[in-house]
Structure 1
């Protein structure tokens, strides 16, 4: 006979074998077999339960069920006819998920999920079941690129849920806000003015950078970023950059924090006078151009100005962009430095020799040079000599004899001409040249060609009230004064002669220094009359009466007077 205790146990087992699980109940069973359609599970009931095989197929198409494995299942319904219990592993998992959602909601705890996709108004999140994350609850600030969040795993708080409607609303923002508040309190308790801290660039504006110090935002103003020039903070920072800053000012009541980065290094101007003494040669990068000069960065925080007047020894610079460009490296000399005013005056031309210091040695007076005409003006020609140095041929030095109204009558820009160096004025930076000096001055020998008393022939070139100009040869003119035109008194020769008329005259005087030749028509005519009278008298026979003697004497007196 079995003992009383063992009989009770047998009765319990017997009753348990007939126990019927409620539909929808989740129980734990053991896999006893796997075929192509079903997985058979022993849940401690008189009949085995079965689960469709597809519930055990993983994402790679492999069947994950193994005989002997324990598995949680939900009783879906009882098939009394076939004496089979229909089970579901997937529904059991969902039941567990809903239980976890309820537990997390009631305990105000976070649950983990993966953002599956974007939907209208927010995201669909997989937390074992589909849940909805409103866009406003995705982050502390509006998300610019929503697609970046898809596929990422986050922690969420359950704002509300309804199992019957399968409706779950999540929030990530409340978790971030709590974290930020915790960090903010810790940060405010730990920071102080003058302290050096690390932060993350949160936002960038034209006037500065907002830095997250750990729940507390500080402003790094553009003027406190660098001792040097900063056009826009975005040139140096990107959102998300980790940077080190110094706390300049802290207002706990208003929770305002002013930050500085340049203050982490000494002000370079404090020792600038020692590094850049007057007269020293420096190299820098052009960072800005203005109408009056170029600003050159010698080092971070140290900029010097090259005034337009200090850019070239020889060129008149109207704008710095004719000489330099932004980003270009230039050599210069320190002309003046005022650290208190944070100013350095630089000179580019002083870094190279002044060409006017050596030009007179290279081209002494009397040297014949050859160059191209760079410019033509009313008063002469500018000829390129050396880099930046032009020589001037004044209009008066183009020809000894030609009357030139404008140099363009003889030359055009780009012509190559020869000239002689006449004078170099270094102080006034003037280089005088002459073209006519390449040949001898025809007036030097005019007295030899037109000696006084010589009869000449020429054409009238001009008629004025005071006389008539006559061309003796190209460029050489003589003047017949109104008083030397005729023995008769003439008020003006205008109307008596025309330009181009040919006439003859006698050379009366020559002044080579003043380039003047005096001519006379009257003297030539008087000499012709004397010759006529002289011939007439000499051809007369002996006097036959006292009247004849008287006539001869009168004619002789007349000849003597003339």
Structure 2
């Protein structure tokens, strides 16, 4: 007899284990589960109330997964929790969906200044604004947070196709991304374009750092402020409006993003300047910017050089001697057109001997 006891081994359960079993009885106050060699499990009391929605759909003979709350109570049953097990199963599925990057169609429930709130399988998740596709990203002048929130709130009730990018059960953190869903689709669309292509598009956004151009449905590119004109652009809004139809040149395609240039469609003034200017030339220039580093001076449209602050001594002295928008005589002390680099010295009202560079 002692030999038989040693030969038969039974699995030892501990709190927190997950176990499968078959429902063998349903009563108003309890649910009984056959756990095989482990014994009989029971879901009752607070655990039964917590899982009442799940229990209402369970039938005799159904196989279920439950979490062990008490390996053996005073009546000899294994106390089980369906709700805890259900939550674990959902998080496992979330991690699987994240790993496989499977798209989900979810409805936007709420909005805050950081992004959008969505719900999946009873778990509240977050879609950061930074993870929105460019077509949905709120473009607000000056990055005003209240205005951004206003734009995000307009999306409440809409459905978006997203993927799970973070599923952290311990932190109760579920993060979605709309950007990730377009990977394959975007690759196919982008395959039609290459660097150097000239495209027609409609301006869909004008912001401090440039303009967004819709090239085709679902595909946008960004022309950075530095690529809008050969001349200095302080504010893109002075040159472009939403709805304008323009041409642009593709200058880069990286990480699913298209970079555009408007100025690349115009002749490069630095190329012409090679034949026109040289170090030592005295030129007339218009002051187009003043700051603590010095003065930026346009010798002609799209061709500008820096007069270093050291030429004036202090910023106050510089501002006393020259003004924005006015023309003064300067001498070229460094001229490297291939590097698009030029430095100047201010000659004042009377041309003076210039220090050698």
Q: Higher Cα Rg: structure 1 or 2? A: 1
